[in-house]
Amino acid sequence: MKSWITLPIAAASALIVTASASLGEEPSGGSGTISARVVASQLQVLGYTAEINSDKSGDPRVKAMVDGFSWDIFFYTCGSGPLD
């Protein structure tokens, strides 16, 4: 993956963590991890479309549309349970 593609994802991730911290909330109910629900919610707050589904392994995936580009955000080695 080229660095010009990776940079927007890293920036979006940093914004999400910063937004969660500035709102005084733990990223995932106090567990110290970030969930697909938090990522999708923060993208939506920023005005982007985002939905949660799963990849072929059953791990959560956030599909987002940002500035006309389709993004898939993957979560690896996730615990069992709901996709969020």
How many whole angstroms separate alpha carbon 15 and alpha carbon 46?
Answer: 10
Q: What was the pLDDT predicted at 22?
A: 45
Q: Output the CA–CA distances (angstroms, integers) from residue 34 to 23, 43, 74, in the order listed.
A: 14, 13, 12
pLDDT in tens, 29-81: 556 678 899 999 999 999 999 999 998 888 899 999 999 999 999 988 766 66
Q: What is the mean pLDDT of residues 13-25?
A: 50
Q: Which residue has the higher pLDDT, 15 or 44?
A: 44
Q: Is residue 70 in a domain?
A: yes
**Among residues 31, 40, 32, 30, which one has the least CA distance to residue 60?**
40
Q: Is residue 67 in a domain?
A: yes
> The domain containing residue 12 runs over which residues?
3-74
Q: Is residue 84 in a domain?
A: no
Q: Is residue 55 in a domain?
A: yes
Q: What was the pLDDT predicted at 59?
A: 87
Q: What was the pLDDT predicted at 53?
A: 94
Q: Is residue 79 in a domain?
A: no
How many whole angstroms separate alpha carbon 41 and alpha carbon 80?
Answer: 21
Q: Is residue 65 in a domain?
A: yes
The domain tally of the chain equals 1
pTM above 0.75, yes or no: no
Cβ contact 16:43 at 8 Å: yes
Q: Is residue 82 in a domain?
A: no
